[in-house]
């Protein structure tokens, strides 16, 4: 049933202090809203639990992409379009740019924000696997002291996270350590555009003198939340990348996911595709190193490959 509009309130504060004051005064009452591409869908369906919404869209401190020597920092209001248009992001964080281009289509990308995607917490969201392999930090603001959290610790279960009711996400911070890394992202969905993923795998690796010095692997849509695959990473770190290492990693990743059957796919399919995507990522590194000796990025977003 549709929402009854007069029952809902929306405040549009113009300063960050006003936002934080309202959240501190009535914690749990006010739901922050930015681009509305998730919340307005719930609203229209009559499923938005909160009756009081707090628009962040006029708070200038929450916008913009800035860079220091060591980090690139994205304001909470950074849209998927802004991520794609940023030369710096395209050069250093191409996986996040790619994920942004897969999130809905143009009209959604112009309104939807990175922090909204994180706060909404869908396990099938497009940006989290990339944020996880980039080892992102999240900055939370409230009237208390600001908190820095590792993004890999942020989600605690299906649509639950470590954010308190008086906090908002203010920034997402990415360490500038991607130079020379192999980067991989592939999303498997029903069709190329506008589709929610069945499985998505992001990978980032640094190879030094023939061994995997550092490797990060993250997955979407195969657990109650986006996950880093620490056990699989442990299997591979410090190893020479050969077939034995790849086979061991494939067993490890199959054991650390918990996919389900739902409207988009089956647990069995998701497990098989996860293993295949890992195989593709790792195998591509072997062949690339043999052929060029240099790192390159690999991307894909395709309708279902053969399992």
Partner 1 sequence: MGKQRIELHVNGCKRHVESYPMARLLDVLREQLELTGTKEGCGEGECGACAVLLDGELVNSCLVPVLQVDGRDILTIEGLQDGGHLHPLQEAFAEAGGTQCGICTPGMILASYHLLKLHPHPTEEQIREGLAGNLCRCTGYQKILDAVKQASQRAAGD
**Which residues bind to partner 1, rule: CB under 8 A?**
3, 5-12, 33, 35-37, 40-41, 43-45, 53, 55, 57, 81, 104-108, 110-111, 192-194
Q: How far is the CB of 54 from partner 1 (least distance, A)?
A: 11
Q: Measured between alpha carbons, how far is 290 from 301 in angstroms, rounded to an integer?
A: 25
- By beta-carbon proximity to partner 1, the closer residue of 112 and 259 is 112
DSSP string for 220-255:
ESSSSS-EE-HHHHHHHTT-B--HHHHHHHHHHHHH
Q: How far is the CB of 52 from partner 1 (least distance, A)?
A: 9
Q: How far is the CB of 27 from partner 1 (least distance, A)?
A: 20
- By beta-carbon proximity to partner 1, the closer residue of 113 and 276 is 113
- By beta-carbon proximity to partner 1, the closer residue of 53 and 235 is 53
Q: How far is the CB of 110 from partner 1 (least distance, A)?
A: 4
Q: Which sign, positive or negative, has the C-alpha torsion 250, 97, 148, 220? A: negative
Which strand (E) or helix (H) includes residue 155? strand 155-157
Q: How far is the CB of 119 from partner 1 (least distance, A)?
A: 16
- By beta-carbon proximity to partner 1, the closer residue of 11 and 262 is 11
Q: Which of 270, 246, 244, 248 is nearest to 257 (CA)?
A: 270
Beta strands per DSSP E along 13-105: 30-33, 52-55, 65-67, 71-75
- By beta-carbon proximity to partner 1, the closer residue of 187 and 216 is 187
């Amino acid at each position: 049933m549709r929402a009854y509009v007069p029952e809902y309130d929306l405040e549009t504060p113009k300063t960050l202090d006003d936002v934080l004051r309202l959240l501190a005064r009535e914690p749990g009452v006010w739901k922050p809203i930015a681009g509305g591409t998730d919340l307005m869908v719930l609203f229209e369906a009559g499923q938005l639990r909160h009756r009081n919404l707090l628009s962040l869209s006029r708070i200038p401190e929450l916008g913009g992409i800035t860079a220091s020597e060591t980090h690139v920092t994205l304001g909470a209001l950074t849209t998927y379009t802004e991520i794609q248009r940023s030369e710096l992001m395209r050069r250093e964080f191409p996986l996040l740019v790619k994920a942004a281009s897969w999130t809905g289509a143009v009209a959604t990308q112009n309104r939807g924000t990175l922090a909204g995607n994180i706060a909404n917490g869908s396990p099938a969201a497009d940006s989290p696997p990339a944020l996880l392999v980039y080892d992102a930090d999240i900055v939370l603001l409230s009237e208390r002291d600001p908190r820095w959290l590792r993004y890999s610790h942020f989600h605690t279960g299906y649509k639950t996270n470590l954010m308190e009711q008086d906090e908002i996400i203010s920034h997402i911070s990415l360490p500038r350590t991607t130079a020379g890394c192999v980067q991989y992202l592939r999303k498997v969905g029903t069709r190329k555009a506008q589709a929610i993923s069945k499985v998505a795998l992001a990978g980032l690796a640094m190879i030094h003198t023939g061994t995997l010095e550092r490797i990060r692997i993250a997955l979407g849509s195969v657990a109650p939340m986006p996950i880093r695959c620490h056990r699989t990473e442990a299997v591979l770190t410090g190893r020479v990348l050969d077939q034995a290492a790849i086979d061991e990693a494939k067993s490890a990743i199959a054991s650390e996911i918990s996919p389900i059957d739902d409207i988009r796919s089956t647990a069995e399919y998701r497990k098989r595709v996860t293993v295949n995507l890992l195989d593709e990522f790792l195998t591509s590194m072997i062949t690339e190193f043999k052929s060029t000796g240099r790192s390159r990025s690999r991307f894909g977003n395709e309708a279902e490959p053969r399992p």
